[in-house]
Amino acid sequence: MTILNACTDMTTPSSSSAPSVGTGVLDVVAFRALAVPVPTQLDDPPTLRIRHPGYPDSNNVLLTLLANDSAGNVRGIQRGIVHTACAVFANNRFDGRLSQSLSPVPDFDAPAPDSGERLPADKDYFFHVPPCESDEHLPWPVVPNFRQWLFPHQGVPRPWHESHIAKLAHPLVPVKARDGTCRLTAYSEVLEVAHIIPASESEWFASNNMDQYAPGSRQRGADAIRAEANLVTLREDILTLWDGMNFSVVPKRTAAADGDDWAWTAHVYTMSPELRQLYHNHQLQPLFGVKQEYLFARFAWDIFPHVQGFLQREVSRWLVAKNVVHEYTPSECKTFTSSSPKKRSRSRNDDNQDACSLDSGTADSDEKDEPGNDALGDEVEEEICLRRRRQVNGRWERARERDDDPHGFKRRREVSEDLDDTECERGRKPRLSP
């Protein structure tokens, strides 16, 4: 019988490095703990604020982002990311410009939005939009949330189109076989297939004619949200982080990008030292068969919750919902931020809140979301929470049915009664129950 020699004196080295032969004794294995992946502490990054020039400074902060990009001692964010986010909020006004001045006079020395130049942090910037003839004296209107936003089919910014994605000869290859590994970490274990535009946005997907970017798919309309061009392989924990809007996949000029090329990178929004160290500006593995338009729409989906604070300042706002411009009262503005699945589901599933709170630590938090903090992922967490509640409810209902009717007699009798009612309506004589 083989014996594990766990009681040997570990301080005494063996006379020979080779294991003993024929003794039936195994050497004790020296175990080691995994190293800590990142420093235990990193300095909190500074912030970068974008203000709306049409409102007073007391309530005009439109967007606040953590300045996680750095070059030497200069912290900031690449101009293109900030400009694109503001243009989306302004109903796809990509002709807008960022300036540190409240004056709308053009700054001809300002770099182009796609220059890759970094906006320094700890400063305030204004996003100016050239006035239209109809609204020249009004604040430019803000799109309040993703579902009120119309996709700019002819206006997707240049970096998103020029960032490379390899085409496939056969677009219907299974997604995991196509990608092979997680596209962010290159890991091959615990993989999930992730929607780029979330499956919960199928109505938005259909109404914006997004199926045109997946012509090789078998699905059409809202069902095309499940097309391979809208799917990517991620490790399970990375998918959870992405669904929580902790990072976006964006095109950036990085050290790995040559010349005028753009690289698909992860842009982290949170203050987590671990996520910032591991994934911020981390270049993705090569992408195959997915569409740049879907990645651009996903960026908009990730960034829209950051505008919630602007809508909750208790002042009237000029908003644009599906291209219709209107001035909304403070209470009306809040309706665009209060349609979360969590709030709707509480009245229906109050008795199941504990199940949700165990799954999601922030599910029952009453803390208000502010732009730039980690609570901005709550809307997605709430949607995940709602799905879990439905799964739990479904399991409880099925378990209750099994307890009340273990052999299925009750269900068969109910089906028989339904059939008898149908036959009576048709003028037939019902069957006699045994």
Give DSSP secondary structure letters for 258-313: -TT--EEEEEE-S--HHHHHHHTTPBPPPPBS--HHHHHHHHHHHHGGGGHHHHTS
pLDDT exceeds cutoff 60 at 374: no
Main-chain dihedrals φ then ψ at residue 177, nearest 5 degrees: -70, -35
The answer to whether position 247 is within a domain reads yes
Total domains present in the chain:
1
pLDDT exceeds cutoff 70 at 364: no
Residues 6+ apart with CB under 8 A from 376: 245, 269, 305, 306, 308, 369
Return the residue matching tokens 């269900």: 411
**306 or 379: whose pLDDT is higher?**
306
The answer to whether position 187 is within a domain reads yes
- Indicate the pLDDT class of residue 28, thresholds 50, 70 and 90: low
Across the range 65-73, mean pLDDT stands at: 83
Across the range 164-190, mean pLDDT stands at: 91
pLDDT exceeds cutoff 60 at 388: no
For the ranges 360-364, 410-414, 429-433, the lowest mean pLDDT is seen at 360-364
The answer to whether position 99 is within a domain reads no
The answer to whether position 90 is within a domain reads no
pLDDT exceeds cutoff 90 at 347: no
Return the residue matching tokens 């909020």: 89
- What are the structure tokens assigned to 91, written together? 């109903």
pLDDT exceeds cutoff 80 at 97: yes
**87 or 431: whose pLDDT is higher?**
87
State residue 368's pLDDT score: 36
State residue 136's pLDDT score: 62
The answer to whether position 315 is within a domain reads no
pLDDT exceeds cutoff 90 at 352: no
**276 or 104: whose pLDDT is higher?**
276
State residue 433's pLDDT score: 46
Q: How many CB atoms lie within 10 A of CB 181?
A: 16
Across the range 187-214, mean pLDDT stands at: 96
Across the range 183-211, mean pLDDT stands at: 96
Across the range 61-73, mean pLDDT stands at: 87
pLDDT exceeds cutoff 70 at 414: no
- Indicate the pLDDT class of residue 340, thresholds 50, 70 and 90: very low
pLDDT exceeds cutoff 80 at 416: no
Integer angstrom CA distances of residue 356 from 42, 237, 238, 361, 364: 32, 19, 21, 8, 8
State residue 346's pLDDT score: 33
Q: What is the overall mean pLDDT for the chain?
A: 77
State residue 91's pLDDT score: 95
State residue 381's pLDDT score: 53
- Indicate the pLDDT class of residue 134, thresholds 50, 70 and 90: low
Main-chain dihedrals φ then ψ at residue 156, nearest 5 degrees: -65, 130
Q: Dump pLDDT digits (tens) for 301-325.
A: 999 999 999 999 999 999 999 989 9
Across the range 134-157, mean pLDDT stands at: 89
Across the range 54-78, mean pLDDT stands at: 89
The answer to whether position 230 is within a domain reads yes
| Domain containing residue 275 | 158-294
Across the range 329-354, mean pLDDT stands at: 57
State residue 187's pLDDT score: 96
Give the containing element (helix H, strand E) for 87: helix 79-89
Q: By the 8 A CB rule, do 337 and 308 touch?
A: yes
Beta-strand ranges (E) seen in 191-246 are 191-195, 231-235
State residue 24's pLDDT score: 57
Integer angstrom CA distances of residue 364 from 256, 309, 346, 391, 393: 42, 19, 10, 19, 18
Rounded to two decimals, the pTM is: 0.71
The answer to whether position 43 is within a domain reads no
State residue 133's pLDDT score: 53
pLDDT exceeds cutoff 80 at 19: no
Q: Of the segments 47-56, 102-111, 362-371, which one has the largest average pLDDT value?
A: 47-56
Across the range 348-362, mean pLDDT stands at: 34
The answer to whether position 255 is within a domain reads yes
Across the range 45-60, mean pLDDT stands at: 93
**131 or 40: whose pLDDT is higher?**
131
